[in-house]
Structures are given as C-alpha cells and as structure tokens.
Structure 1
C-alpha cells in the first residue's frame, strides 16, 4: 500500500473510531503513532516527544488557561443574574424583550467566559424559565439560549482563535480584529430575527406586563451601572489591549484573570472554595485542550509525511477543478457536515490543518478563512446528532420541554449563521476592514476569493516534517 493511500486510510479510520465514542486526543495519538510506525519505524516515538514539547513550549497557548480561569471566576461570581436583570430592564420596551435581553447577556457573558457549556447551562437556569413563564414559545426560547451561548466561539477574546492562530501561525490579534464585527453582526442578526418574529407572531414572544416595562429610569441606570458597566470595562480592557498592541494575548489574559478576581471581590462573591473550583476546572479544561493539541500535532505530521495532503490537493485542484470561491464553499460545507458528529476543537485542530496548504494554492488569506470557520462552527453546537448546546439546555430545562423542541428552535438560528456567512462571502470587508485599519495590512474587499494572502505557519500539514535521525 502506497504512503498516500495509507494516509487516507488513517484519516478514514480516525473518523470511524471517533464515531464509536473513543476519546479524541488519545485516538489521535494512537492513530498517529500506529500508522507512523509503518513508515517511520522508531522515529515516530521521537516525533511524539518533539511535538509534545513544541506544544508545551508554545507561548501563544499560555493565554488559554488564563482566559479559561477568567471565565470560571466570572461564572462563579454570580454576575450573570445581575447582568440579565439589568439588560431585561433596559430592553423592556422592545419586541421580544426577554429574548433580546437573553441574547445580549449571552453575547456579553460568552465574551467574558468563552465556555459554551457554562453559558448555555447558566442561561438555561436563569433566562429559559423566565421566558417560559412569560408565555414564550418553548422552541423560540430554546433557540435563543442555545444560539446566544455559542457566540463565545466567535466573539473575541475567543479560545477558538487562539488555537487557530497557533495552528496556522497567524496573529491572534489580527484574528480578533477580523472576527470582532462578524461576531457582533451575528448577535445583531439574532436580535433582529427575534424582534421581527415578535412583531409578526406576538403569541410566540408576548410583551412583558406593564409593571415590568414601566420601570423608573433611575432604577434602570443603577442596574446597568452596577452590573453591565464593570464587566464591559473588563472585557474592553482585555480586548482593547490586544487589538491596540498594548499587550500580547497572554499578557491581556493575565490582566483579565486579575480583573475577574477583583470583580468577584467587589461583588462580595469571592471565596477560597470558589477559587479552588475555578483552578481545578481550569486545569482540567486546559489539560484536555493541550493533549488534544498534542494528538492533532502528531496526527497531522504523520498524515503529511505519508503524503495524504497530496490526495486532498489533487482532489480539490485537479479532479474538482475548483475556483477559489467554490473552494471556500466546499470546505465550509465539509466543516458544516463535520459539525454534526464533532465539536469545534476537533474540527479546528484536526481537519482545518488539512485545508491549510490549499489556501496558498487558491490565494486565500488564512485570517479570512479563520473567520469563516469561526462563523461556521456556531452550527456545530446546534446541529444534531451531537448538538451539545441542545444537550446542555436539556439537562437543566423543565421536564415538559422535549429535546425535539430544542432542536427545532435551533434550526432558524442555524439558517441565520448561513446568512451571515453568505454576507461575509459577498462583503469580505466586514472581516478585513478592522485589521486593515488597525495594522495597515493590504487586505481589501471584493469577494471572498480576492482577499489577499497573508503569511502563515504553525502546524500546517507539512509535506515532510522534520524528523530525528535514527543514528
């Protein structure tokens, strides 16, 4: 069996084994070492050591545990209920006010935490019952919570873009700048959909009672100043420091972690027990991400050494004869389908590197491609069979709410994500303008295929990775 065929067998075997439910990180390492031994023999074990050390020594990845710790501290400071109440009061006169407040809270809290499961679970306990009590349709309420909770994947400071930046060798600051407007735009599209639906079908999102809408301005202002403003200042300080080049992502994440602790102290919600829980959860989540990174590093290195990427490149360039725009559409369709059985971290670390060498061939900027992937990955949490956001919500929802209702509620928001991606294809300036303005890059608009190519590196699928000698 030739090496490229062996590489494709390895890729197919991995997909089958993952669908059987085996742990992803250790499956990646086992597949990489097993198939690598057939071609590299003992050198594959040296490759394992090299790649593990490279991941642990990667400065970009230092920001991951810091951002995760920041999120867990904020989550345990009981800020969410204050924030939701303030935004509910501020949006009381809008159509679908509770749903709008839920989306705004999710966007704000997802930005602070970036942990989809935490946001969906907390909003499922707080906002979902409130919407049901107000007479909201269960499907709409479920879709709002699930879609809003997934925004942390896209809106900076997103852990997904840290992993993507480390994978591709692109600047995390530029990725954050490119994703900022698309992330806010997607949240705005969600809110617009809810308000239009509330106007057209008031029975699905009834107006709040007069006593909840006619709240004195001073009460609203005080609620906003004591809940929304402190968290907004913390997030903007962290994000602004990164975008303006005042701090690296790791330095900004450290500043955000310290700010989260101070915020918890200010709200009198800081205890040693909560700190211990935050540290434990951070260590557990970080270990999972890092070992997944190690496994993906080994897998893609062996896949590249076997020449599997030649098969992929030949299929895209020669067999399908795709144009750049068609290539973007096909790859995003593949990622969308992969989102049904896999989570975003697995897609970013395993399958995105397979497409990276083709970006040079089609002249596509990896930063623009990364924003498209970030938008697309919103759907991975909302499309069955592995719609994790739906399962998170089902775990805390009232018994009468069925999983089918939650799935049905998510589908319109999946359609909105597709609309947002279409808008980004047509108007790439949505993603390219802010990085160009901040960093004077030569990126210009036109169409998705016209976005200029930027340098990339990281752990792309190399043709022949550097391997130690047997001597």
Structure 2
C-alpha cells in the first residue's frame, strides 16, 4: 500500500470518527497513534511520547491558561459588565449608539479573553436584552453580537493564534501583533456599517430618549467612565509592558492575570464563588486546548513521516497545474466549508499538517497566513447552515429571536468579513507592518 493511500485512509478515518460525535482530540490522537503503531511497530509509540514532551517543554504555552484566567476573572466579577454600562451611557444619544457600543464592548472582551465564546456569552446575556428593550431591530442586533464576538479569535490575546503558532512553529508575539490591525479594521467596518444603516433607517437603532439623558448627570457619566476604564487599563498596561520590552510574552500574561484579580479585589467582587467559577472554567478550557495541541502534534508527525505534504504539493502544482494563489484560495474555501460543521480548533488540527507546510512551500509568509486562517474561521463561524456562532446564539437568545432571524442577521457582517479577508490577501502589510515594525527595533 502506497503512503498516499495510507494518508488518505488516516484522513478519512479521522473524519468518520469526528462525525460519530467523538471528542476532537480523542479522534485525532487515536488515528495518529494507531497509524504509527501499524506502520512502524512498537517504535511508533515514540511519536506520541515525543509530541507530549514537546508540548510540555514549550514555555510560551503558559500564556494560554493565564489569559483565559484573566478573561474569566473580568467576566465573572462583573468588570466587563461595567464596561458595557459605560458604552451604554456615553453612546446612547447616537442612532445605533448602543449597537456601536456593543462592538466596542466586544473588542474590549476580545482583548481580555481571546475566545469568541466569552464575547458571545457576555453579549447575549448583557447587551442583547438591553438592546431589545430599547427598541433596536432584533435582526440587526443579533448580527452585531455574533460579528463582534467573532473578533475574540483575531484580536490579541487570541487563543486560536496561540494554537496556530504552536502547530506552525511561529512566534506567538508576532502573530498577535499581526492580528491587531486587521481586527481593529474589521471592527471599524462593523461600526461604519451600523452607523450608516441607522442613519438611513433610524427606527432600527433609536437613540436614548432625551428625558432619560437628562437624568444622567455629568458626575454619573464620569463615574461610569472610571468603572469601565479598569478593564481597558488592564489590557493596555499588559500589552504596553510587552511592546516596550519590559516583559516577555509569558510575563505579560501573568501581569494581566494578576491585574484582573487585583481589580476584582479592590472593587470588592473577589468572592469565593467568583474564584471557584474562574478557576474551574480556566482549567476546563486550558486542558481541552492542551489535549488538542498534543493530538495535532502527534498527527502532524505521522503525516510528515509519510511524506503526505509533498504528495499534495505535487498534486496541486504539478498534476493539476494550479498557481500558488489558486491553491491558497481553495484552502480558504475548504476552511469555510469545514467551519459549517466544526469549530476553529478542530479545523486547525485537521488540516494544519497538510496546509501549513504547503503554504510555506508556496512561498507565502506563515505569520500572514495565520491571520488569513483566523479571518476565514470568523467567516466560517457565521456561515449557515451549521456555523458555530449561529447555534451558540440560538442557545443564548430569547424566544422571540428565531433561527431564521439569526441566519438573516449575519449576512451583511459575513460580507464585511469577506471584504476584510480580500483586503488582507491583496495587501499583506495590513497584517505584517506592526510585527515588522516592533521586531525591527
């Protein structure tokens, strides 16, 4: 049996196991270890052991639990809710102002947590009921929360970019810096769309009533500003120390975790329940990601041993005669199709052993491609019929928001994301200028 057929059998077996509902890391790890043992006998077990040791020795992986802890501490202690109340009061007088403020909230949550599910949970539980109560169009605001929460996997500290950096063997710091400007650009495009649409159709996003605005004094505004600025200050102090070179990436994540805990303590919200919930969720998320990385490393090692990457490169470039850009576009389209059924980590683990070496062989920058992959994941999250964010929103939204409303709501935001993806593909410096500027110093 040829190595190409073996690689195809591995890939199809893995997909079959995933369709049965097995856990991602279990399906991928089982196929990898079984294939290694069948191909190379008892010595094949060394592949899994070597992958485990590589994971345990990778020092930057410490950023993962620290940043997840920071995000959950801010969320569970209610500091993130303070931030939304600040946006609510300060942006209320503008048509669509609360929706714009919600995008601002999502950017801030993304900069604190690195997971889209955290932004979705906060947006659906805090922002959505308030927006509906204020008379905002349910379809528009449902799309706003889904699109805003997807920024969590692009704006640093993105957990997805940490996983990509681990699997692609690329510096996480450069990947995070590469995600800053595309993430802010996308958030800006969302805000521009909301502002223009609410200007043309004011009934979609009514301004805060004048009598209610009069009840809010200047002192109240500044008090809310002071409360809401704490999470933002934590983020900027953490990233500022890193960018100025005072702390390493891991030290920066420790600063963020410590600052979030201290802020909760000073606000009198560091209760036993908050600490227990934060630690429990941090442990669950961190262990899940570590198992996934371990399975990915093992699967990738077996694929490398089979020479499957070189075979696929030969198929696309020699047999089919496709150019580098055509191959790249096909890869992005395959991500969108897979995203209808799988989450971002599963997609990355499944195709990383094939795509990442191929991207490098085609002459593309792997830091730039990490941003492309992440934006494509954002699009896939929101693409019907089975986009990940669509069903998260269905589970969290009130009964009056139907599945049809959720599907319709994402259309303009998906188009905006596609525009952002095209811009980053045409102009790679949108992603690369910041890491090049910082690391050239």
TM-score (norm 1): 0.89
Structure 1 residue 224 corresponds to structure 2 residue 229 = no
Tell me which residue corresponds to 2:100. Answer: 100
Q: Distance in 1 between matches of 2:79 and 2:380?
A: 27
Contact 1:25 1:295 in 2 (8 A): yes
Q: Distance in 1 between matches of 2:176 and 2:337?
A: 25
Name the SS of the counterpart of 1:400 in structure 2.
coil
Alignment of 1:146-225 (within 5 A): 146-213=146-213, 215-225=216-226
Which piece of structure 1 moves more, 134-143 or 375-384?
375-384
Q: Distance in 1 between matches of 2:402 and 2:313?
A: 44
Contact 1:116 1:153 in 2 (8 A): yes
Structure 1 residue 130 corresponds to structure 2 residue 137 = no
Which piece of structure 1 moves more, 237-246 or 57-66?
237-246
Contact 1:111 1:151 in 2 (8 A): no
Structure 1 residue 361 corresponds to structure 2 residue 361 = yes
Q: 1:140 to 1:110 in 2, by over 3 A?
A: same
Name the SS of the counterpart of 1:364 in structure 2.
coil
CA deviation map 1:144-178 (0-9, x unaligned): 11111121100011111111111222211111111
Question: How far off its partner does 1:10 sit?
Answer: 0.9
CA deviation map 1:28-69 (0-9, x unaligned): 111112222221111221211111121122112111111111
Tell me which residue corresponds to 1:29. Answer: 29
Instruction: Return 5+ residue gaps in structure 1 as ranges.
Output: 442-471
CA deviation map 1:154-205 (0-9, x unaligned): 0011111111111222211111111111111111111111111112222322
Paired positions, count: 440
Alignment of 1:430-469 (within 5 A): 430-440=430-440
Q: Distance in 2 between matches of 1:281 and 1:337?
A: 30
Q: Distance in 1 between matches of 2:120 and 2:404?
A: 17
Question: How far off its partner does 1:348 sit?
Answer: 2.2
Tell me which residue corresponds to 1:421. Answer: 421
Contact 1:19 1:341 in 2 (8 A): no
Q: Distance in 1 between matches of 2:255 and 2:136?
A: 40
Contact 2:111 2:235 in 1 (8 A): yes
Tell me which residue corresponds to 2:248. Answer: 248
Q: Distance in 2 between matches of 1:150 and 1:211?
A: 35
What is the root-mean-square deviation in Å for CA atoms of aligned residues? 1.7
Tell me which residue corresponds to 1:343. Answer: 343
Q: Distance in 1 between matches of 2:37 and 2:386?
A: 33
Tell me which residue corresponds to 1:309. Answer: 309
Contact 1:168 1:356 in 2 (8 A): yes
Q: 1:237 to 1:300 in 2, by over 3 A?
A: same
Q: 1:247 to 1:398 in 2, by over 3 A?
A: same
Tell me which residue corresponds to 1:265. Answer: 265
Q: Distance in 1 between matches of 2:40 and 2:245?
A: 43
Which piece of structure 1 moves more, 334-343 or 96-105?
334-343
Contact 1:164 1:370 in 2 (8 A): yes
Tell me which residue corresponds to 1:352. Answer: 352
Contact 1:75 1:113 in 2 (8 A): no
Instruction: Return 5+ residue gaps in structure 2 as ranges.
Output: none
Tell me which residue corresponds to 1:318. Answer: 318
CA deviation map 1:273-303 (0-9, x unaligned): 2212211211111111111111111111112
Q: Distance in 2 between matches of 1:311 and 1:256?
A: 44
Contact 1:190 1:416 in 2 (8 A): yes
Tell me which residue corresponds to 2:66. Answer: 66
Tell me which residue corresponds to 1:121. Answer: 121
Structure 1 residue 80 corresponds to structure 2 residue 53 = no
Question: How far off its partner does 1:89 sit?
Answer: 1.5
Contact 1:147 1:410 in 2 (8 A): yes
Q: Distance in 2 between matches of 1:23 and 1:428?
A: 35
Q: 1:385 to 1:249 in 2, by over 3 A?
A: farther
Q: Distance in 2 between matches of 1:366 and 1:78?
A: 38
Q: Distance in 2 between matches of 1:316 and 1:266?
A: 58
Name the SS of the counterpart of 1:41 in structure 2.
helix
Q: Distance in 1 between matches of 2:245 and 2:319?
A: 44
Question: How far off its partner does 1:216 sit?
Answer: 4.0
Question: How far off its partner does 1:378 sit?
Answer: 1.0
Q: 1:395 to 1:370 in 2, by over 3 A?
A: same
Q: Distance in 2 between matches of 1:355 and 1:213?
A: 54
Q: Distance in 1 between matches of 2:385 and 2:287?
A: 26
Name the SS of the counterpart of 2:170 in structure 1.
coil
Contact 1:164 1:348 in 2 (8 A): yes
Contact 1:77 1:267 in 2 (8 A): no
